[in-house]
Amino acid sequence: MLVNKKIIMRLLQYKNVLSRLKKLGFIKIFSDNIADSSGTTPAQVRKDFSVYGISGSKRGGYNIDELIIELNKILGKDKITSVIVIGAGNLGAALINYKFFEKENIKIIAGFDIDSKKINESAPTPIYHLDKMAEFIKKNNIRIAVITTPHIAAQQITDTLIEAGIKGILNFSPAQIKGPEEVIIQDIHLQTELESLIYFVNAAKKERP
Amino acid sequence: MLVNKKIIMRLLQYKNVLSRLKKLGFIKIFSDNIADSSGTTPAQVRKDFSVYGISGSKRGGYNIDELIIELNKILGKDKITSVIVIGAGNLGAALINYKFFEKENIKIIAGFDIDSKKINESAPTPIYHLDKMAEFIKKNNIRIAVITTPHIAAQQITDTLIEAGIKGILNFSPAQIKGPEEVIIQDIHLQTELESLIYFVNAAKKERP
DNA sequence: TAGATTGTTAATCGATTAACAATC
DNA sequence: TAGATTGTTAATCGATTAACAATC
């Protein structure tokens, strides 16, 4: 499944970077500029564009408005996607209140938790009890869920989510959750990311003390 | 730099998975078990072990205790690493209060923010004003920082961090921050991750509607 | 024009997978 | 022993990079 995740991640990154460069007043842009502000190389940028049939003008670079439109078309960023968050602990609550998503047509419309202290059905983004999750997904036709629960709960919640119709899961729990092939599961292991950073810093220190 | 990030991420994952399997009572373990609970393949597990000189016994698999010890040795998980978090907004506050790190010898010892409302120097993990950051880093010999500030502030904070002695940065801001080659910068683009998940779910829907 | 940049092909590089001999 | 699993080599696969002709 994740065959071309890397290229899609880069295209999304280009799109996000271009919006910012546009705000700064850029009208024309070169593969070199894009690469620099996306953390990749000009050759990579041109290659990615080539694969998806995006072309600029030789010598003149790319028109930033046209580029953004083309990327948005490829990336299907035309309609709003509703997302729910399972687990309203520290991380879950943070994501629920994260403002950056809405700009990109992503709307977190509800949170769910098993702890009655966390529940607040009248908040701007309501937090419901886990019991109401399956029904909510079906009623609102939700396809995407974010899991921020502890390890122990993750697989059971995954099963319920998929049963109710969820097709994509962003998993922040350390659990290796499993589902049928057609459901897409992407993991973000915060702990492992931080551990690997520490590893490489220590390794570099050993090399040149 | 990130040459072998993938293999280190997997070794860390194995280690984390093994601790859990140990708690479940496993004494011997096979590459097959490890692969299954880490989301990889048995061949990959054996290959990774082979690269780092870890061996088990043919037919008998691996002794879980010995394996954990070897992995911890390779991964340098013997001493506690202190980490600071810059930005005490939703995400920053969540990470500061995230309990899962401490088990892995990672201690978040302070947060920093520019907003005086966020400051609380007497909290269990104190939040200081940004002005005190450089001095704090030097005084406490901090090497690792996590950035959760908005885009606009990220590069300037990065410069200050590096100037003060930080060697590794985990960057949650959407900015492409830059530093000297010897400083390790790892990005986690939450927005892009979620967008890519949505992309693939939509793409799959088109394939089989 | 001269110089710079695109677009694409071919070469390289590295990581994963397959396969299987060794052996417990 | 027979069967299962490791450890390692070779084959495959895919992604990145280099190079350069086309051309604005």
Q: What are phi and psi of B27, to 5 degrees?
A: -120, -45
* Nearest CA distance, A4 vs chain B (angstrom): 10
Which residues of chain B have a CB within 8 Å of the CB of A52? none
* Nearest CA distance, A56 vs chain B (angstrom): 24
Of A100, A176, A195, the CB nearest to B38: A176
Q: Rounded to a whole number, what is the distance in angstroms from the first to the last CA of chain A? A: 42
Please give the pLDDT value at position A99. 79
CB B16 to CB A191 under 8 A? yes
Query: What is the distance between the alpha carbons of residues A192 and B104, in angstroms, rounded to a whole number?
Result: 10
Of B77, B186, B193, the CB nearest to A186: B193
Establish if A6 touches chain B: CB-CB under 8 angstroms. no
Which residues of chain A have a CB within 8 Å of the CB of B5? 196, 200
Mean pLDDT (chain B) is: 94
- Interface size, chain A vs chain B, as Cβ–Cβ contacts under 8 Å: 170
Are the C-beta atoms of B143 and B167 separated by less than 8 Å? Answer: yes
pLDDT surpasses 80 at B100: no
Interface of B with A in 18-37 (CB under 8 A): 20, 36-37
Query: What is the distance between the alpha carbons of residues A142 and A145, in angstroms, rounded to a whole number?
Result: 8
Mutate to test the interface with B, among A8, A137, A189, A195 (most CBs of B within 10 A): A195
pLDDT surpasses 70 at B1: no
User: Stretch B11-20: mean pLDDT, rounded?
Assistant: 96
Establish if B13 touches chain A: CB-CB under 8 angstroms. yes
Establish if B194 touches chain A: CB-CB under 8 angstroms. yes
| Burial call B139-166: b when 16+ CB within 10 Å, e when fewer | eeebbbbbbbbeeebbbebbebbbebeb
Of B5, B81, B187, the CB nearest to A196: B5
All residues at 6 or more sequence positions from B130 whose CB lies less than 8 Å from its CB, including other chains: B86, B112, B113, B114, B157
* Nearest CA distance, A58 vs chain B (angstrom): 27
Are the C-beta atoms of A154 and A107 separated by less than 8 Å? Answer: no
Q: Mind listing the pLDDT tens digit for each residue in B114-171?
A: 999 999 999 999 999 999 999 999 999 999 999 999 999 999 999 999 999 999 999 9
Establish if A126 touches chain B: CB-CB under 8 angstroms. no
pLDDT grade, residue B96 (50/70/90)? Answer: very high
Structure tokens that stand for A167 in this block: 């097709």
Please give the pLDDT value at position A1. 44
Please give the pLDDT value at position A101. 82
Residue A53's nearest nucleotide, by CA–C1', is C7
pLDDT surpasses 70 at B98: yes
Query: What is the distance between the alpha carbons of residues B201 and B169, in angstroms, rounded to a whole number?
Result: 31
A50 touches strand D (CB under 7 A): no
Q: Mind listing the pLDDT tens digit for each residue in B46-66?
A: 999 999 999 999 989 999 999
A54 touches strand C (CB under 7 A): yes
Establish if B43 touches chain A: CB-CB under 8 angstroms. no
A120 touches strand D (CB under 7 A): no
Q: Rounded to a whole number, what is the distance in angstroms from the first to the last CA of chain B? A: 42
Return per-residue pLDDT of chain A as tens, 209 residues. 455 899 999 999 999 999 999 999 999 999 999 999 999 999 999 999 999 999 999 989 999 999 999 999 999 998 999 999 999 999 999 999 987 788 889 999 999 999 999 999 999 999 999 999 999 999 999 999 999 999 999 999 999 999 999 999 999 999 999 999 999 999 999 999 999 999 999 998 877 65
